[in-house]
């Protein structure tokens, strides 16, 4: 980014690893100021901060906290707005997984899933939107899953949360379109992250055989799509964009 260009700002939630880390690095490569968030993997988050500071042209600021907690989100955005007047892009990536029968899931597990995967999107959008509306410009990109479209056996809560993201994305896109703010979601297939580390080699191979592309996607591929969506034509909004190797 040249000296004549103004700095652009992006918040990436769940930025310590996987897709979130890849997104943070992708924007930093282009000279953006990246706000790095995660709830608990703070050592890993600091490594991302260090990598950006030492190796990439962009700048970054740590804004740790639980985006599934509305008060912590308020504090995160308070810090953000001390450094910039408005986000150019919000990437809602924070998420957890849960595999098991619905009847075995506890109330606490269900609530944690909804808070982290769905309510976090609402809380962050609620804080990010007002300055965007004032400026009549902004992009919101929600990281979702193909299971939000078709559902997955033994992942009922995860599928419900991701389906909720799809509904929120479409509705908020209509609400914000008059203010020239685009809201889209990326429905990821099987991406090679720690979320899938529980798979045995045999299970992994079997899953790869089910994917027409014959492999897992990479975090960088997902991050490249996020970057492209952040720079897509303004008329593209309210879309659920799949990246799943042809799986669905």
Q: In what order do the strands lie in the sheet with 9-12?
A: 59-62, 33-36, 9-12, 89-92, 138-145, 181-188, 240-243
**From 9, 123, 158, 235, the catalytic residue:** 158
Please give the helix or strand (H or E) that residue 121 lies within, else none. helix 120-135
Integer angstrom CA distances of residue 116 from 19, 65, 95: 16, 11, 6
CA quadruple 151, 65, 241, 195: dihedral sign: negative
| Residue located via tokens 């479209």 | 149
Beta bridge partners of 37: none
Rounded Cα distance, 115 and 123, in Å: 10
Phi, psi of 63 (to 5 degrees): -135, 65
Return d(Cα 193, Cα 64) in angstroms, integer. Answer: 21
Catalytic annotation present for 158: yes
Diameter of the chain measured on Cα atoms: 58
- The residues pairing with 187 across neighbouring beta strands, listed in sequence order, are 144, 242
Q: Which residues are catalytic?
A: 158
């Amino acid at each position: 980014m040249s000296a004549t260009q103004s700095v652009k700002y992006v918040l990436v939630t769940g930025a310590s690893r996987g897709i979130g880390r890849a997104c943070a690095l992708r924007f930093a490569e282009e000279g953006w100021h990246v706000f790095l968030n995660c709830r608990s993997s703070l050592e890993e988050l600091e490594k991302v901060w260090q990598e950006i500071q030492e190796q990439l042209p962009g700048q970054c600021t740590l804004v740790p906290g639980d985006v599934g907690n509305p008060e912590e989100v308020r504090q995160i955005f308070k810090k953000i707005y001390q450094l910039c007047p408005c986000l150019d892009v919000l990437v809602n990536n924070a998420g957890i997984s849960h595999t098991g029968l619905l009847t075995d899931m506890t109330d606490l597990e269900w609530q944690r899933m909804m808070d982290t995967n769905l309510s976090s999107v609402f809380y962050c959008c609620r804080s990010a939107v007002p300055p965007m509306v004032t400026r009549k410009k902004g992009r919101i990109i929600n990281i979702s899953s193909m299971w939000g479209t078709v559902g997955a056996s033994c992942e009922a809560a995860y599928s419900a949360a991701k389906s909720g993201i799809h509904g929120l994305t479409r509705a908020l896109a209509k609400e914000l379109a008059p203010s020239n703010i685009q809201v889209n979601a990326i429905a990821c297939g099987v991406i090679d992250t720690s979320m899938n580390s529980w798979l045995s080699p045999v299970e992994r191979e079997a899953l790869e055989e089910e994917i027409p592309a014959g492999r897992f996607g990479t975090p960088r591929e997902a991050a490249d799509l996020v970057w492209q969506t952040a720079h897509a034509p303004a008329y593209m909004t309210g879309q659920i964009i799949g990246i799943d190797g042809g799986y669905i």
